[in-house]
Structure 1
Amino acid sequence: MLLLAVLFFVIGIVLTVGGIWLLALDGSLYYLIAGVVFLVVAITLRKRRTLANISYAALLLGTLIWALWESGLSWWPLASRMGAWLVLALPLLIFARNRLSVNRLLLPVWAICTVVTLSPLAMDEPTAVKGTMAEKVVSPSADIGFQEDDEWQAYGRTNLGQRFSPANQITTENVSDLELAWEYQTGDLKGPNDVGETTYEATPLKIGNALYICTPHNWLIALNADTGKELWVYDAKVPAESQRQHQTCRGVSYLAPENDTATNIVEPATQPAETLASMQCDAQLFLPTSDARLIAVDPKTGARCANFADDGVLDLMHNMPYTQSGYYYSTSPPLVAGGHVIVSGSVNDNYDINSPSGVIRAYDAKTGTLQWNWDAGNPDETAPIGEGETYAVSSPNSWSVASADEALGLAYFPMGNRTPDQLGMYRTPAEEKYATSVVALDLETGQVEWVQQFVHHDLWDMDTPAQPVLLDLNTDKGVEPALVVPTKQGDVYVLNRATGEAIFPITEEPAPQGAIPGDFTAPTQPTSAVTFKPEPLTEAKMWGATPIDQMLCRIEFNSLDYEGRYTPPSENGSIIFPGNFGVFNWGSVAVDPRRQVMFGMPLYLAFTSKLVAKGGQDLGATNQGEQGVNENAGAPYAVEMGPFLSPLGVPCQQPPWGYVAGVDLQTGKTAWKHKNGTIEDLTPLKLPIKMGVPGIGGPIITDSGVAFMAASVDNYLRAYDVKTGAQLWQARLPAGGQATPMTYMNSQGEQMVVQVAGGHGSIGTTIGDYVVAYKLAK
């Protein structure tokens, strides 16, 4: 009993001190009251046990009423408020088991509170949207790029970026029969000198009977598409560099041979591909590297293509205004369209105000000769830059995947921001116009045809992160050439891809004000009629694994600046919600152009952002990427950012944090939305509790109405019914599946589903080097 009294006393002191602190911040009175009750129980527990139990019963009943008032009958908010207190009631009940009068009040109160707390488990999740999407094919002749179901020739299967396959052997009825067909390990693992964000984000290509996969350190690997047998490996020999923000490769690109015959590899190379003599190539694979090169490789042998650039290697640092090692490189596959290979790149966020340019450049796909360059810092001059000239400093970049409509002669690039992301005083009018947008460029000249901006004067790193999806959409005006692009801030924009005009309305909403001296905030920000933007955070939506954890999150919430979406960064520190990972990220969405529906994975995870006035002070370790301090060399402020987490390392906002959702693109309405993923790999206990967890990656859709996606922070590949969002199947992955899967028909007429599973350094999933393939059991 003494130990129990000490425990209650310690909890009471913590709650009382924290409750006074929270109350001083105009927060909830509850924690102070709870702290006083715990102290009363601790003091009276030994000699006046009846008073102790009555006091504790009052605490339980009061907490239940308060919890229902704040969050209603929702399981996770109730569990975090009531769970620990219900468990602590057990020793009070047990030690008083022979004194019925003592338990006469506490026992029924405890029972009632327990039943009410558990009752939401039998109810639907309040945040869910239940419904169905129509299965009817409304556009049977829809453009899907190419009709064959045995190929996957670009990151999004084709340059339309739909992530839609006409393969339909795997259906909603038989998907539960999927089993592992083969497993391959690349041998490329995260090393001790690698940056934190060393990640496997690759989606393989399937051409002929070969798969082509790139690894974080830029190995290009060819596998037999039937068996997973290694055919050849080309190692780009990328040196280590601590100043890279990312060490990743999302994929490679393919230039088909002029006679358009598929590449078919049957036997492996007899020696490492990088040791082979370069050769003249008909077909070509393009490998972007993290040391800013573009390498052209022969699909059959893995030898470099002597006809391209300098013996198959193009140095992407040419004509850059600054050339710091590790500050510029391509993490995404280039766009191959119109006879060009068009390369954009990633510029490190918040490292230096004087950084390489974000220029987009088109090279002759066969020779590597520069054809045009479009730089948001100098948008009107697209003729190839001359020797000795340089591109604009630190101009907005396009680090994600581009799309193309060759019939219209346009390429579509999702644009990021100018570094530094949180400091807008360095931007030119042109950079303001093109940052955080989608820009349509003429394939032949690089000239801008149209631009649609999604954030004005972006101070939040709300880069447009996802590949635009192209389809022909049935609208009230008839069939329109449409472009669908999801954004970090949660809006999904549906535009006419010929003109850039909105198909679903875009409105301007008032935005929070209050930038630092010398900067400004835009008075309004756009939002789309199709949106997954989150409800604003409130103190009542703070969460924690325990009430003390939750109290500390409330204190932090009330200590930071927060006025809703687009709260500007500040020296005090601001809550940025949605955070840097965004509601959507590079995984984009999948679209079925025949049924005109969309499958996506909205994510809700708040970040914090703090501007640190340098003033000559030692900032300690800097340039730590999305979780830590970045220097902003040359600027008066560094920036410190990271997820908004409790002291126990769980998100401070209440779950669910991750969903799957379906949208009818003809109406713009969300048909269904369900929480996705479990906490199995977030806790040492390996509990497969479906909570709705964060993730990063993307989905694919098949013609049979099945969607596949891994992405979430538990290590599973899952299949879903596109009509309802119901999960149909899952397979345990040997590592984190933070990559978008793909599917194809093998040479035996079997539909395969392939997932790269290597983990993601910045979100802490299991690291590995696996490629796994599934097919239906015979």
Structure 2
Amino acid sequence: MPRRLPALITLSIVVLACAHVWTQPRVAQIDWRAHGADAAHTQHSPADLITPANVSRLRVAWTYKTGDGRADNRSQIQCNPIVVDGVLYASSAQLKIFALDAATGREKWVFDPFAATSGDAQHALGVSRGVTYWADGADRRIFMGAGPYLYALHADTGVPVERFGERGRIDLRQGLDTDATGLSVVSTTPGSIYKDVIVVPTRLSEGPGRAAPGHIRAFDVRTGQRRWIFHTIPRPGQPGHETWPTDAWQRVGAANNWAGMAVDEARGLVFVPTGSAAFDFWGGNRYGANLYANSLIALKADTGERVWHFQFVHHDLWDRDLPTAPVLGTVTRAGRTVDVVMQATKTGELYVFERDNGTPLWPIEELPVPPSTLRGEQAWPTQPRSTLPPFSRQEFSEALLTSRTPEARAFVERQLVGAKPFHKWQPPSEEGTVIFPGFDGGAEWGGQAFDPATGTFFVNSNNMAWITHMLPIDRTRETTQVARGRRHYQVNCVACHGADRKGDPTRTVPTLVGIETRQTREAVADVIAYGRGQMPMFSSLPEGVRADLLAYLFGDAPKEGPKEADDDVPDIPYVFGGYTRLLDDKGYPGVAPPWGTLTAVDVGAGTIRWQVPLGDRPEARGPKDPPTGTENYGGPAITAGGVLFIGATNDEKFRAFDMKTGRTLWEASLPAGGYATPATYVVKGRQYVVIAAGGGKMGTRSGDTYIAYALPEPGARPRARTRPVGR
């Protein structure tokens, strides 16, 4: 008996401890109130009910089908839904906005912005990465972009707010301090709120033709009136004007924010990452460093006044937009606690700055880079490099080429014949230039997550090689309508649809070969003028130019016309040959795995905690080889419970990882790829994680389903909908 007493005492202590845990009050509600979870864009939730110990028990809690996915696999859903007071708000494949009961998936309302509109608005569908919520007492609003408009809806009903702009919407082509008539200006990423203003990202054309400027604007959330504007292409007398040709502000476009922003509400700062200036790949007509393109800009959120900036790419020739919203956090560096802003890049690097003044937390080097060999181009002689360890591969060489099969390697080698020697900053060329990491990163638009408890930054990234060529513009002095149309196609269409007009299914770009057998002339003319899906509007092109394009696309008989060969062709010597992935003979990446990774970075220590492949294509590797990783789009959501959730991969899986180790804990097969960032929230004491399975990228099938997962409720019968991994 005496020898059993310690065991009994120990058992009693365990029982009492367990009873204490079981009787802890469960948090009834935790929201995911903004794109990226919060104003700081941390993609982190304080919810902790799902843990590494129980995540394998996740099951489908509810599904919601939007009903408007396209059967031709050309629709996508890239939305990170928000959840406020038990209501989920999100967008569909065709940009309908809806509200659901977040616990059951039951529909509360749907708003279709195109139901009662016509002209350019109903055609420029594109994608939506989510919505924005604002409230002041009983006045609760949802803001969403569709076509060239920003809408304000009553959060309870989905009905437009009549007193906002013109009957519930404002035209984003207006208020740019320049005439943007006929130009493409849309908002695909949710705006950011500071008090009673919304700062709105815009997506613009970046081709060789005329493009709208990417000035940053804030609007009054109640009225829609513009409150301030920051000129990303500075005007005479404004700082940065000296980094452009004197007249650039009158003719150069883009340098816009499309990836989203982060707001420091306490400091009253909005951190805005920008993209490249137009034209993306030849800048002989915009010589200079080109501030504030490719920059992180800290602006006073109430006035738009610049506080500081840092430029990541000088005189961009590679379409190296900052692809994602920055992330705010607090870290400890050398014993000092610092509030920082973290920015990931397409080049696979992480830059960290002190929020107050832009001082780099880790040194940044300025390194010499190769000159351009293109006529009229003057590449900037140096480019920055972060001294933090990169999270994507930085070097491309023969040793990195695929060894999947001898045939696969030979196929890839043939594509590289004559290409310029690799350098991360090798300028575009006629011979061919390898872009690595590829045009879509490194980091991309899905966003990154930051854990405030450990100071860890989580980023998924691509290790894909792409190759591109610059094509001299054909200026042969021909006057037939078809010849002119071929030239206009080369200038305006080749970058996406290709010189062979075959398009790119991996980027949801349709083929134009044989279009005369599938579409009427009127329908194609309509799309050229007003855009559709990912294609911007070209109504700014003269009517005669659009007629020439139709003659070329529909194979009209040669017919003399009154125009000269060079009329309406931009005064540039080259066009971009297209976004071409370096793939092998079976369509797998032309480099050795891993093709996609998930990385945890200790920001304060400046080290990689862990890195693992993200996704798998088992048919492309040996049975004993590690997972291949896959190209991926969409970011992670992390929790205080220690679990990271992410879809993103083209194997159409949804996964949970241990935040401490990177070990895969659980996975589920989705009805289509989850190319969107998930959200997690708590309603009535139960934690959910939801993701949009919209598919449609990388040549995969499209879908129209939102799926929410949760742990089984007490007494519920288990259903074999998902499976644990490695257990």
Structure 2 runs not aligned, ≥5 long:
1-26, 239-248, 477-485, 502-537, 539-568, 714-727
Shift in Å, 1:512:
2.2
Q: Give the equivalent residue in structure 1 for 2:62.
A: 182
Matched, 1:160 2:40: yes
Q: Distance in 2 between matches of 1:704 and 1:210?
A: 22
Letter in 2 for 1:499: N
Q: Distance in 1 between matches of 2:701 and 2:173?
A: 34
Residue among 424, 430, 447 paired with 1:565: 424
Q: Distance in 2 between matches of 1:496 and 1:363?
A: 27
Q: Distance in 2 between matches of 1:533 and 1:520?
A: 28
Residue among 447, 456, 464 paired with 1:605: 464
Assess if the C-alpha contact under 8 Å between 1:716 and 1:732 holds in 2: yes
Shift in Å, 1:189:
1.4
Assess if the C-alpha contact under 8 Å between 1:412 and 1:441 holds in 2: yes
Matched, 1:521 2:379: yes
Q: Deviations over 1:207-243 (max 9, x none)?
A: 1121000124221011111110111100010769799
Assess if the C-alpha contact under 8 Å between 1:344 and 1:359 holds in 2: no
Shift in Å, 1:687:
13
Assess if the C-alpha contact under 8 Å between 1:750 and 1:775 holds in 2: yes
Instruction: Classify the secondary structure of the residue corresponding to 1:176.
Output: helix
Shift in Å, 1:750:
0.5
Trace 1:291-302 onto structure 2 (pairs within 5 A): 291-302=147-158
Instruction: Classify the secondary structure of the residue corresponding to 1:551.
Output: helix
Assess if the C-alpha contact under 8 Å between 2:269 and 2:298 holds in 1: yes
Q: Give the equivalent residue in structure 2 for 1:729.
A: 666
Q: Distance in 1 between matches of 2:577 and 2:655?
A: 35
Matched, 1:213 2:77: no
Instruction: Classify the secondary structure of the residue corresponding to 2:290.
Output: helix
Distance 1:435 1:492, change over 3 A: same
Matched, 1:741 2:671: no
Residue among 286, 294, 309 paired with 2:143: 286
Q: Give the equivalent residue in structure 1 for 2:583.
A: 645
Q: Give the equivalent residue in structure 2 for 1:251.
A: 130
Assess if the C-alpha contact under 8 Å between 2:471 and 2:574 holds in 1: yes
Trace 1:661-700 onto structure 2 (pairs within 5 A): 661-679=599-617, 690-700=627-637
Which piece of structure 1 moves more, 212-221 or 731-740? 212-221
Q: Give the equivalent residue in structure 2 for 1:715.
A: 652
Q: Give the equivalent residue in structure 1 for 2:507.
A: none
Assess if the C-alpha contact under 8 Å between 2:287 and 2:378 holds in 1: no
Q: Distance in 2 between matches of 1:240 and 1:546?
A: 51
Distance 1:149 1:592, change over 3 A: farther
Instruction: Classify the secondary structure of the residue corresponding to 1:555.
Output: helix
Assess if the C-alpha contact under 8 Å between 1:405 and 1:411 holds in 2: yes
Assess if the C-alpha contact under 8 Å between 2:93 and 2:704 holds in 1: no
Aligned residues: CA RMSD: 2.9
Instruction: Report percent identity of matched pairs.
Output: 32
When normalised by structure 1's length, the TM-score is 0.72
Distance 1:568 1:326, change over 3 A: same
Assess if the C-alpha contact under 8 Å between 1:243 and 1:623 holds in 2: no
Q: Deviations over 1:34-60 (max 9, x none)?
A: xxxxxxxxxxxxxxxxxxxxxxxxxxx
Q: Distance in 2 between matches of 1:508 and 1:583?
A: 20
Distance 1:579 1:473, change over 3 A: same
Q: Give the equivalent residue in structure 2 for 1:202.
A: 79
Q: Give the equivalent residue in structure 1 for 2:710.
A: 775
Q: Deviations over 1:670-719 (max 9, x none)?
A: 01111121126999x99998311110110011001110000011111100
Assess if the C-alpha contact under 8 Å between 1:661 and 1:674 holds in 2: yes
Q: Give the equivalent residue in structure 2 for 1:506.
A: 364
Matched, 1:327 2:184: yes
Shift in Å, 1:330:
0.9
Distance 1:433 1:153, change over 3 A: same
Q: Give the equivalent residue in structure 2 for 1:343.
A: 200
Matched, 1:229 2:229: no
Distance 1:307 1:247, change over 3 A: same
Shift in Å, 1:552:
2.5
Instruction: Classify the secondary structure of the residue corresponding to 1:256.
Output: strand
Matched, 1:764 2:691: no
Q: Give the equivalent residue in structure 2 for 1:394.
A: 253
Q: Give the equivalent residue in structure 1 for 2:512.
A: none
Q: Distance in 2 between matches of 1:569 and 1:493?
A: 25
Shift in Å, 1:497:
1.3
**Count of aligned pairs between the two proteins:** 594
Letter in 2 for 1:343: V
Matched, 1:374 2:230: yes
Q: Give the equivalent residue in structure 2 for 1:443.
A: 301
Shift in Å, 1:322:
5.4
Q: Distance in 1 between matches of 2:335 and 2:308?
A: 21
Shift in Å, 1:546:
2.7
Shift in Å, 1:493:
0.5
Q: Deviations over 1:581-617 (max 9, x none)?
A: 1100111211001211111112111111211111236
Q: Distance in 2 between matches of 1:214 and 1:243?
A: 16
Distance 1:246 1:305, change over 3 A: closer
Instruction: Classify the secondary structure of the residue corresponding to 2:30.
Output: coil
Structure 1 runs not aligned, ≥5 long:
1-146, 260-281, 383-389
Q: Distance in 2 between matches of 1:483 and 1:580?
A: 24
Distance 1:519 1:563, change over 3 A: same
Letter in 1 for 2:681: Y
Distance 1:457 1:391, change over 3 A: closer
Matched, 1:628 2:498: yes
Q: Deviations over 1:298-330 (max 9, x none)?
A: 010010011211111101111454546572211
Q: Give the equivalent residue in structure 2 for 1:543.
A: 402
Q: Give the equivalent residue in structure 2 for 1:755.
A: 691
Matched, 1:553 2:389: no
Instruction: Classify the secondary structure of the residue corresponding to 2:577.
Output: strand
Letter in 2 for 1:543: T
Residue among 478, 487, 496 paired with 2:354: 496
Assess if the C-alpha contact under 8 Å between 1:377 and 1:392 holds in 2: no
Q: Distance in 1 between matches of 2:193 and 2:62?
A: 30
Matched, 1:171 2:51: yes
Assess if the C-alpha contact under 8 Å between 2:696 and 2:703 holds in 1: no
Instruction: Classify the secondary structure of the residue corresponding to 1:441.
Output: strand
Q: Distance in 2 between matches of 1:682 and 1:235?
A: 42
Instruction: Classify the secondary structure of the residue corresponding to 2:469.
Output: strand
Q: Give the equivalent residue in structure 2 for 1:68.
A: none
Instruction: Classify the secondary structure of the residue corresponding to 2:161.
Output: coil
Trace 1:454-493 onto structure 2 (pairs within 5 A): 454-476=312-334, 478-493=336-351
Assess if the C-alpha contact under 8 Å between 2:173 and 2:181 holds in 1: no
Higher RCO (CA < 8 A, seq sep 6+): 2
Matched, 1:432 2:290: yes
Distance 1:528 1:190, change over 3 A: same
Which piece of structure 1 moves more, 181-190 or 504-513? 504-513
Q: Give the equivalent residue in structure 1 for 2:721.
A: none
When normalised by structure 2's length, the TM-score is 0.77
Assess if the C-alpha contact under 8 Å between 2:97 and 2:110 holds in 1: yes
Q: Give the equivalent residue in structure 2 for 1:583.
A: 442
Distance 1:718 1:688, change over 3 A: farther
Q: Give the equivalent residue in structure 2 for 1:309.
A: 165
Distance 1:188 1:301, change over 3 A: same
Q: Distance in 2 between matches of 1:246 and 1:454?
A: 31
Q: Distance in 2 between matches of 1:365 and 1:682?
A: 51
Trace 1:78-157 onto structure 2 (pairs within 5 A): 150-157=30-37
